[in-house]
Every structure is written in structure tokens, then in C-alpha cells.
Structure 1
Amino acid sequence: MLRVATAILCFLVGGVVVHSAPCEPVHIHMCRTMPWNMTRMPNHLYHSTQQNAILAIEQYEELVDINCSEVLRFFLCAMYAPICAFDFLHDPIKPCKSVCQRARDGCEPIMRRYNHSWPEIFACEELPVYDRGVCISPEAMVTEFAEDVKVVDASLDVMPNEPQALDCKTWNSDRCRCRKMKPTLTTYMEMKYDYGMYPNT
């Protein structure tokens, strides 16, 4: 009986570890050109390892090669090797609905010629809309900043209660009325924040 209980406990603990897996480097060849290089498993299609995801994504290589949609590779990689952002470890970021629709609109006509339709696992209707949820699209990926853009490091986990003057010359930590707030999906939705993602260099 003790062995059975121990086995069940190990299985449950193992399941929790897989669910909250940390970020890992992207090994899927098709996704090496994406503006992110870290992913996490399981992915949005419930593949527990990148090896499983590689076997599944390979069936779309010919569609990517013929370039039926300029966003197909981005969409597939966002599904099979989702971007791993430390602030969204428990809520992996999905591709936006519009990205899925653009990929489907470009590629489904070609798929139909060979008696295939857009896969049900890529249900565009179930993906978030950019202005009402957190999602990624090629246009939203920031790779360079204009000189007048101020980047705030969200890893500090501190957001001000009240907006501070951007040109404040006498700012110090004693005057700042701040409280620690984790920038999670819920925070972004409740506070209606705009957000951007950029690769670490």
C-alpha cells in the first residue's frame, strides 16, 4: 500500500513539474528564426517535449516552404514553441486570432486542392484578440527601440501606484509611493495596460 501511495505521489509531483516547466531554448529548426529563443513545454497543443512538437510541426514544412502565408511560420511556432516570458509562466502567450486568420486565409485554399482543410486544432475563433487579451503577432514584436522610448524592466516586479512625472529630476526611492505588483496577464487585463515584448540581448 505504501508503494502505491508513493508511486501516486511521485506521479502527481511529476505532473506538477511538467505543468510549471521553466523556459528552455528553442530546438525546433523551423522556429530558430523567430524573434524569441526560449519556449516552454507543454505547448498550446499539449506536446510535453520539443521532440514531440518537432514530429508534429514537420507536416507543415511544405506549406511554409511555398510561403502560402507570410505569417504561417510565426503562427506555427507560436503554437508549437510558444514564447516563454518569465511573467507569463502559468499563462503561456498564444498567437493572436488575426494571425491565425491570416495564416488560414492564405493557406487553406492550397490545402483544399489536396482535399485537406484547416486543422481543427488551429481554431482561430478560440484565440485572443489583440486589444482584449494578451497575445503575440509579428507586428507586436519589438526588436529595436526609438531613442525617445523608455523601457521599464518588468522583472523588478514594481509598478507605481500613481504615475510619476517622466521628467522628474529629483526622483528618489523614499519619495516614490510604490507597491510590489507582479505584471501578470490578470494585471494587464484589469489595468488595461499596453504591453510590448522584446528579446533580451
Structure 2
Amino acid sequence: MIRMVVTVALLSACRASEYEYWHGPYSAGPIYGKSPQCVGIPEDLRLCHGVGYSDMLLPNLLEHETMEEVKQQASSWVPLVHKKCHPGTQVFLCSLFAPVCLDRPIYPCRKLCEVVRDGCTPIMEAFGYPWPEMLTCTKSFSHLPSM
């Protein structure tokens, strides 16, 4: 419970102008062709297992509709979390791959994205990987349905 409070606090500790980065309108209706549902975070979703909450929203904030898709995409990020390039890396990534299941999703703010990107980009580039377009810190979720 304490870890969930810390996780939620990290995600929501942004000024309103920073929060607009990932914050988008969201409804309980169909999203990406499927209605959102709460599902348990499986133990083999190593990136987010033990992140501080047990249920996630599916489809997630990166438009992954199935758990298999989430696990396949998230698995490539586990080594970056282990590099400890920024203390907020796991929280940032899990907020997108396995968003906490609440009445309304919590999106990471621009500031969190920027500090994780700035801390992790040098490590990623050392291994030949650029910061991915899907995590661009100026991205908006304007494609989400309005409430």
C-alpha cells in the first residue's frame, strides 16, 4: 500500500502545465476498439511486477490491447530499469505499459518523462538505441476519446 501511494504521488506530483503532456481525455467506453478493463499485473510482466499496485488498465496508454503485446513490448525495457539511469524510470514506464487501474487513468507528466529521458538516453545511445518516438516527451494523447 505504501509503495502504491509513493507511485501515485510520483505520477501526480506535477504542475498542471506539465501534467498536460500525457493527460488526455479518457472514458469508460471503447478505446482502441476494446473497452478498458482492470486486469492483474502478471508475475511474468517483469518490468512492472512489484511496482506498488496489482491491477492495471488494458488496453494500456501505449495502445497495447492484449497482455501478450504488453509483455512482449515491456520486456525490452527491463535492462534499462536495472541500469538505474534514473530513479523514476520504472514508474514512468509502468505508468504507460501497465497503468494503475483507477476510475480514471493517471498519465505521467512531461517533467517525469524529461528527467527519465535525460538520465537514460546516454545509456541507451551507448548501446545503439535512440530514445523511442513512442515516448517523445512532447507527445499528447489527443487520439483518445473525449469524456
Q: Does 1:126 align with 2:143?
A: no
Higher relative contact order at CA 8 Å, sep ≥6: structure 1 or structure 2? Answer: 2
Q: Which has the higher helix share?
A: 1
Runs of 5+ in structure 2 lacking a partner? 1-28
Once residues 105 and 116 of structure 1 are traced to their aligned partners in structure 2, the CA distance between those partners, rounded to angstroms, is 14
Q: How is 1:75-114 mapped onto 2 (pairs within 5 angstroms)? A: 75-85=92-102, 87-88=103-104, 92-114=105-127
1:50 and 1:81 in contact (8 A); partners too: no
Structure 1 segments (4+ residues) deviating >3 Å: 15-18
Counterpart of 2:57 in structure 1 is 40
Q: Does 1:19 align with 2:34?
A: yes
Change in CA separation of 1:112 and 1:44 when aligned onto 2, cut-off 3 Å: same
What secondary structure is seen at the aligned counterpart in 2 of 1:29?
A: coil
Counterpart of 1:53 in structure 2 is 70
Once residues 125 and 36 of structure 1 are traced to their aligned partners in structure 2, the CA distance between those partners, rounded to angstroms, is 27
TM, length-normalised to structure 1: 0.50
What secondary structure is seen at the aligned counterpart in 1 of 2:131?
A: coil
TM, length-normalised to structure 2: 0.67
AA aligned to 2:111 is S
AA aligned to 1:46 is E
Runs of 5+ in structure 1 lacking a partner? 1-14, 129-184, 187-201
**Offset of residue 45 of structure 1:** 1.2
What secondary structure is seen at the aligned counterpart in 1 of 2:123?
A: helix
Once residues 114 and 105 of structure 1 are traced to their aligned partners in structure 2, the CA distance between those partners, rounded to angstroms, is 16
What secondary structure is seen at the aligned counterpart in 2 of 1:34?
A: coil
2:37 and 2:59 in contact (8 A); partners too: no
Give aligned pairs, total. 112
**Offset of residue 16 of structure 1:** 4.2
1:108 and 1:117 in contact (8 A); partners too: yes
**Offset of residue 33 of structure 1:** 1.9
Q: Deviations over 1:62-111 (max 9, x none)?
A: 111111111111111111001110x21xxx32111111111101110111
Once residues 46 and 124 of structure 2 are traced to their aligned partners in structure 1, the CA distance between those partners, rounded to angstroms, is 23
**Offset of residue 127 of structure 1:** 5.4
Q: Answer with 1 or 2: which has the greater Rg.
A: 1
AA aligned to 1:124 is C
Once residues 96 and 34 of structure 1 are traced to their aligned partners in structure 2, the CA distance between those partners, rounded to angstroms, is 18
1:94 and 1:127 in contact (8 A); partners too: no
**Offset of residue 35 of structure 1:** 2.3
RMSD across aligned C-alpha pairs, in angstroms? 2.4
